[in-house]
Structure 1
Amino acid sequence: MPTGTTSEISTFKGQGRRLRADRIGVAGLLLSVVAASAPLMVTAGVMPTTYGTMGIVGQPLLFVILGAVLTLFSLGYAEMSRHVHNAGAFYAYIARGLGGTAGAAASVVALVAYSAMQFAIYGIFGFELSGLLDEHLGVRLGWWVPALAAVAVVGALGWLKIDLNAKVLGVLLLVECAMVVAFDVAAVGSPGPDGVSLHSFDPQTLTGAGLGTALSFTIASFVGFEQAAVYAEETSRPQVAVARVTFLAVGFVALFFALASWALSVAAGPSRITGLAGDEGPNLLFALSEDRFGAAFTDVMHLFYVTGMFAAMLSFHNVVARYAFAMGREGLLPAALGRTSRASGAPAYGSLLQSAVSLLAVAVFAVTDDGPHGDPTAPVQRLFTWMGNVGALGVILLMATASAAVIVFFVRRGAARAQAPRLVAAGAAGLILLVIVGYAVKDFDVLLGADPGSALRWILPGIVGAAVVLGLGYGLALKAVRPEVHARIGLGNEAFRLEEAAQAAAGTAGGPARPHGPTTQGKVSS
């Protein structure tokens, strides 16, 4: 391949060991990360739960507050993205700040958390699509049939190049956002019995026993904005694009969801929203939309509710595949996972692994589902609720740990004074995120809708705890048995540059070094 082309691989290990650069721009990257937030799924699913189950009328204000907290987090996180370009994102940042052992633990938590969130969406996707097929076509299928079909389609797209995925995500995302905005406008134009009220932005509406749980549940709606760093190696200017997309995604999600949740309260009336949400559940948005637009619009909205889930599944799949690729490249997972497809440059083998694991997860819940047709017990109450909350807890913990890593990273490099505002912001965000983690663990039974005495309230968050312990043990074992692997955790392609320099030095001392693969030129992302 001619030197200097945009698909040039900047590592002497050859093309198969690096993601191809210049594959995705700012617009495509923004679409990919916002798609993981699933705007229509959050509006129809998360918001009614926060209103009805937790009784928090001030949900719109909650989105504004958490948007500010995550902006503080992003000040340090985005600055880190200018210095470290690695598809391992969270675990790479944590390794560069807190060391390889902490990085190994973070890599295991990231795989578990993002995989769990993808599994969760497979469950609700299968249930909703099977319901639509039954209602409109008279086709009765178990929820697991469309769920398994989605695993196959997502796996195929994951094998292909990222710009195709960005186009798929973009079209689906834009349509569902347009439908939510249409509802927002209609709600304000035709408000409920309380009129156009700003009561849900009153701080007094945040009082109550459900606040801590609502914080945990609401912050899960933002998950996705932090994924921009995963694509750093595939952008043309990662030191600019990743930071820009991170801030744009946080701002967009906070504003979009604050307005959407406010529109729901206006359409129902602040005095009625909690009761109505409790009665209607996920049907709240569709019931209020049908009153204003009619059944045809609501049917189309329901369709894009399902396609929005598909977009989120695809987004999470891409992220997990890249984490697996980064871990394979650095020796944390089998080396075969650290190779890309020759045809597309995508992390194809990481994608295959994630497809296999997803297939297993859906199959386990399908086999254990003994409910009649149309009973959402397994796909929604178990697969979606259980795995969704486990994944959210893991990501929040990763964000809190990354905040600490950012501070240590810059302090150790003598940049504490220059980066002081960002480090203060990272510290404040990290502390708030840890408080939210505490609330999530303490009130996990509320998040699950389980009895306070249920063993699940400890077993499920224990999955994240087990991932931390397993990862720390793995990291310590690598440090003792394979110190060279431990030393390269979080370095990505920079490890190849150091290895090349070491081989060159050895060659100078003892004769010509034998090349490992095609030698290329270009700047290596660090």
Structure 2
Amino acid sequence: MSRLGTTRKAKGSSPSQPGKLKANSLGLWDVVFMAVATSAPITVMSGNVPFAVGYGVGTGVPATYIWATVILSVFAVAYVTMARYVTSTAAFYGFISRGLGRVVGLGTGYMVTFGYMVFEASIIGIFAYFGHLAFLDQLGIDISWVVFAVGGLLLIAALTYFEISLAAKILAVLLATEIAILAVMAFGVLFNGGGPDGLMPETLNPINAFQPNGLALAAPGLAMFIAFWSWTGFESTVMYGEESKNPRKIIPIATLIAVTGVGIFYIFVSWMTVAGNGAEGSIALAQSANPLDMFFHPTDVFVGHGWVLVMQWLMMTGSFACAMAFHNAASRYLYSLGREGVLPVVLGKTHRKHGSPYIASYIQTGAAIVWILGFWFFQKDPYLDVFVLLAVLGTFSLLIVQTITMAAVFNYFRKNHPEEKVWRTKIAPIIGGVGMLGVVLMMAMNLDTAAGPAASSLLFKLIPYISAVLFLAGAGQALYLRKTNPVRYAAIGHAALALDDRIDLDLEREVALELALEHELEHDLEDLEDQQELQDLQDLQDLKDLKDMEELEK
């Protein structure tokens, strides 16, 4: 009894246990803004569209966004269906752990966590690039890009220290401004009937996603990969489930908006950008020394030069918002792995007042600064090296994990919730998985081209091996824990929002308690058995004594 009492007492007093994220902090649009900010519409459009036009499928780029919108929307249907039953900041890691097992789950968990960690450093690279240009061109001040990069990372660290609702408000303002400037340009072109070739509706023909459309040779694989790349981070909606109001309703809606809604916007903006420059003009500007002119030119012609100046600043603030959104996502993956004891438990701590994963946030900031200082030390370019190379590194792992997630969703519903519709649990995961597998293959075939000059670097050549090592490290750790620490193994990817909306963050402690109680029961049974044996021996001795007394009496 004394041991059992001690165990129960330990359950109620554990100051070192991981904390909880602040619940009910985010509404629907907060989650949408957080997810869309990771896609960075102004950065994606100004960076990806010119590259795809100049070296992919020419003026057929809007068609690639149509394909990507359709395939990712199907992916999202399967993804959010599982999110209704598994609400966890672990997202991909949690889904795969439940659908394909803890070994595969932890392997992919390490891959996706690393991917999100390098994304912040990648985006802060292009933020520094835009900042350097804006200050130099408009203010005549030449500031090294590394100052913008490190300063931006420190500012993000300060802002994300507080509760998530503050970051959501900041991102909402920054995101609204970058969407607005793109919309102003696009509608300016539309209302003026387009450029020298009119509105060019033929660019929306899905077949054009596989044709040269003004180029000498088409590279549809590259163009399609770049289109899918433009949605990187949309899946982060699920990460905020534990901090959302009514997550089982909000998260699915937010995810579909972040995929389908953003997709429609991408299609429209890319179409108007091509139309505003004309067929020949689009390709010429996309292949020029300053491909950003593909957006600056129609803005100047159809809206006014003042808006070009505004667009330069918003490219800077938009990339900052994207970096902060990725910081939040990476911190929550680190937090998730920490609270389950896979990584040091201190990463699972949250701020007493703000409910933010501040320790994980510190680690993420430190890691990003190390990346930036490393590139700066070796005199690398903030755009061609920091942004492009780290983006390819993170995307390689992320797209593989997304593909595996569809297999996890299919397998999860094969065993659970048979009441769900077949379209959501069987057909959508298959179509989404096949589509994502195609994207992974296109990525593999066009990785050198996507990386540009950075393809000659050692880091680029190590990308596949880095992903493989991350997966094997996670899977190996899971196998080790399964053998040596079944309690911690049981916790892998399984901390989630309970059906009654309470967060079961103490899964490992609960499992430990169950095992302790089980051992206690076994021990008590052994004690009872020993006592019974002693009693049986005593009874035999008493019976013998009784017989001896009877013999003496006789």
User: Which residue pairs with 1:435 in the alignment?
Assistant: 438
User: Which residue pairs with 2:530 in the alignment?
Assistant: none
Deviations 1:253-280 (A, max 9, x none): 1001000000011101134422221114
TM-score, normalised relative to structure 1:
0.89
Name which of structure 1's ranges 75-84 and 209-218 shifts more when overlaid on structure 2: 209-218
Q: How many Å apart are 1:317 and its aligned residue?
A: 0.2
Is the CA contact (8 Å cut-off) linking 1:12 and 1:496 kept in structure 2?
Answer: no
Q: Is 1:241 paired with 2:250?
A: yes
Is the CA contact (8 Å cut-off) linking 2:20 and 2:505 kept in structure 1?
Answer: no
Q: Distance in 1 between matches of 2:518 and 2:433?
A: 47
User: Which residue pairs with 1:460 in the alignment?
Assistant: 463
Q: Distance in 2 between matches of 1:298 and 1:178?
A: 13
Deviations 1:75-129 (A, max 9, x none): 1110111111111111010001111111111111111111222111111111211
Q: Is 1:228 paired with 2:237?
A: yes
Q: Residues 206-285 of structure 1 correspond to what in structure 2 (within 5 A)?
A: 206-208=209-211, 209-279=218-288, 280-285=290-295
Relative to structure 1, the CA distance from residue 180 to residue 336 in structure 2 (aligned partners, 3 Å threshold; closer, same or farther) is: same
Q: Secondary structure at the match of 2:230?
A: helix
Is the CA contact (8 Å cut-off) linking 1:445 and 1:456 kept in structure 2?
Answer: no
User: Which residue pairs with 1:410 in the alignment?
Assistant: 413
Q: Residues 290-439 of structure 1 correspond to what in structure 2 (within 5 A)?
A: 290-369=300-379, 378-413=381-416, 415=418, 418-439=421-442
User: Which residue pairs with 1:166 in the alignment?
Assistant: 168
Q: Which amino acid aligns with 1:250?
A: V
Relative to structure 1, the CA distance from residue 99 to residue 176 in structure 2 (aligned partners, 3 Å threshold; closer, same or farther) is: same
1:53 to 52, 55, 61: 55
Is the CA contact (8 Å cut-off) linking 2:18 and 2:339 kept in structure 1?
Answer: no
Q: Distance in 2 between matches of 1:454 and 1:140?
A: 28
User: Which residue pairs with 2:191 in the alignment?
Assistant: 189
Q: Distance in 1 between matches of 2:454 and 2:78?
A: 39
Q: Which amino acid aligns with 2:273?
A: L
Q: Distance in 2 between matches of 1:185 and 1:432?
A: 32
Relative to structure 1, the CA distance from residue 457 to residue 508 in structure 2 (aligned partners, 3 Å threshold; closer, same or farther) is: closer
Q: Distance in 2 between matches of 1:451 and 1:130?
A: 21
2:510 to 492, 500, 525: 500
Relative to structure 1, the CA distance from residue 435 to residue 510 in structure 2 (aligned partners, 3 Å threshold; closer, same or farther) is: closer
1:17 to 16, 19, 24: 19
Is the CA contact (8 Å cut-off) linking 1:445 and 1:454 kept in structure 2?
Answer: no
Instruction: Return the index of the structure with the highest Cα Rg.
Output: 2
Q: Secondary structure at the match of 1:57?
A: helix
Q: Distance in 2 between matches of 1:407 and 1:323?
A: 23
Q: How many Å apart are 1:136 and its aligned residue?
A: 2.5
Q: Distance in 2 between matches of 1:112 and 1:166?
A: 23
User: Which residue pairs with 2:202 in the alignment?
Assistant: 199
User: Which residue pairs with 2:80 in the alignment?
Assistant: 78
Q: Distance in 2 between matches of 1:278 and 1:271?
A: 11
Q: Secondary structure at the match of 1:71?
A: helix
Q: Which amino acid aligns with 1:278?
A: Q
Is the CA contact (8 Å cut-off) linking 2:339 and 2:505 kept in structure 1?
Answer: no
Q: Distance in 2 between matches of 1:26 and 1:391?
A: 27
Q: Secondary structure at the match of 1:490?
A: coil
Q: Distance in 2 between matches of 1:283 and 1:77?
A: 37
Q: Which amino acid aligns with 1:241?
A: I
Q: Distance in 2 between matches of 1:421 and 1:327?
A: 29
Q: Which amino acid aligns with 2:221?
A: G
Q: How many Å apart are 1:473 and its aligned residue?
A: 2.3
Q: Secondary structure at the match of 1:53?
A: helix
Percent of matched pairs sharing the same residue = 27
Deviations 1:18-39 (A, max 9, x none): 1121011111111111111111
Structure 2 unaligned runs (5+)?
A: 1-11, 212-217, 497-503, 522-554
User: Which residue pairs with 1:94 in the alignment?
Assistant: 96
Name which of structure 1's ranges 60-69 and 128-137 shifts more when overlaid on structure 2: 128-137
Q: Which amino acid aligns with 2:358?
A: A
What is the root-mean-square deviation in Å for CA atoms of aligned residues?
2.3
1:27 to 29, 37, 47: 29
Q: Secondary structure at the match of 2:59?
A: coil
Q: Which amino acid aligns with 1:127?
A: Y
Q: How many Å apart are 1:413 and its aligned residue?
A: 2.3
Q: Distance in 2 between matches of 1:133 and 1:198?
A: 38
Q: Secondary structure at the match of 2:90?
A: coil
Is the CA contact (8 Å cut-off) linking 1:200 and 1:270 kept in structure 2?
Answer: no
Is the CA contact (8 Å cut-off) linking 1:441 and 1:461 kept in structure 2?
Answer: no
Q: Secondary structure at the match of 1:215?
A: helix
Q: How many Å apart are 1:476 and its aligned residue?
A: 2.2
User: Which residue pairs with 1:149 in the alignment?
Assistant: 151
Q: How many Å apart are 1:324 and its aligned residue?
A: 0.5
Q: How many Å apart are 1:55 and its aligned residue?
A: 3.5
Deviations 1:282-339 (A, max 9, x none): 2321122112233221111110111000100110000001101110001111000001
Q: How many Å apart are 1:412 and its aligned residue?
A: 2.0
Q: Distance in 2 between matches of 1:271 and 1:128?
A: 27
Relative to structure 1, the CA distance from residue 477 to residue 253 in structure 2 (aligned partners, 3 Å threshold; closer, same or farther) is: same
Name which of structure 1's ranges 415-424 and 182-191 shifts more when overlaid on structure 2: 415-424
Structure 1 unaligned runs (5+)?
A: 1-10, 370-376, 512-526
Q: How many Å apart are 1:463 and its aligned residue?
A: 2.6
Q: How many Å apart are 1:46 and its aligned residue?
A: 1.0
Name which of structure 1's ranges 22-31 and 278-287 shifts more when overlaid on structure 2: 278-287
User: Which residue pairs with 1:516 in the alignment?
Assistant: none
Q: How many Å apart are 1:235 and its aligned residue?
A: 1.0
Q: Which amino acid aligns with 2:328?
A: N
Is the CA contact (8 Å cut-off) linking 1:169 and 1:311 kept in structure 2?
Answer: yes
Q: Which amino acid aligns with 2:79?
A: Y
Higher helix share: 2
Relative to structure 1, the CA distance from residue 411 to residue 13 in structure 2 (aligned partners, 3 Å threshold; closer, same or farther) is: farther
User: Which residue pairs with 2:478 in the alignment?
Assistant: 475
TM-score, normalised relative to structure 2:
0.84
Q: Distance in 2 between matches of 1:436 and 1:509?
A: 50
Q: Secondary structure at the match of 1:172?
A: helix
